[in-house]
Structure 1
């Protein structure tokens, strides 16, 4: 029963990452971008931190793809989410799904949360979650940071 639930959740996580790859992702800073790249996100990423919203919106819209907002789940992140959602009509569903599925508070903790989820699944069924290359293997994030 737990195995089935975990595997369904894993499929949902895979869908979120697959959806992210067909968008332009807005994040607050370089560490957020690094966390997404380490998790396998290949979509264009635009940094919004310390920049005028109109300039960020122009840069993101120039890609001609839907925009996904992935700001932290704190006061500032919520404010930016509202601002960019109103300015661009950007999608917040992927942000909500990531919060629900992984319990994120910051984008930076993505690698840790994925790794913890992977361990939980592996403990319960012994299967490898790396089918799509999105869930980093233990040690992968550390290895990538030191390259």
Structure 2
């Protein structure tokens, strides 16, 4: 028996990725944009409280953490160089200051980037988000 989950019906309307990702950034349901996406800090709800969209299909595993580290590193590395070259602070002050800044920025961005991942997966009907599409019968 073939697995036809990857076949998408051309009659089904395409979901816009950008609005879904922006809703995810705001930590809202990618479908309705009003219901909360997360319960707690990083746990994605099984269903939306407002529109009952199933959200348990997501596979956001380690991706948001990697992207968060990448973005934080790219934002803070030039800033560290600028502060070091301009003000020449003590190494301990520079290290502790930027470690605190990195952790704060990463903690702020991590749930938002996870929401972006879930929104993108929802928009592209990945990992079970497209189950409303009937698979084409095998011939």
Normalised-by-shorter TM-score class: under 0.3
Question: Which has the larger helix fraction?
Answer: 1
Based on CA coordinates, which of the two structures has the bigger radius of gyration? 2
Using the size of structure 2 for normalisation, the TM-score is 0.24
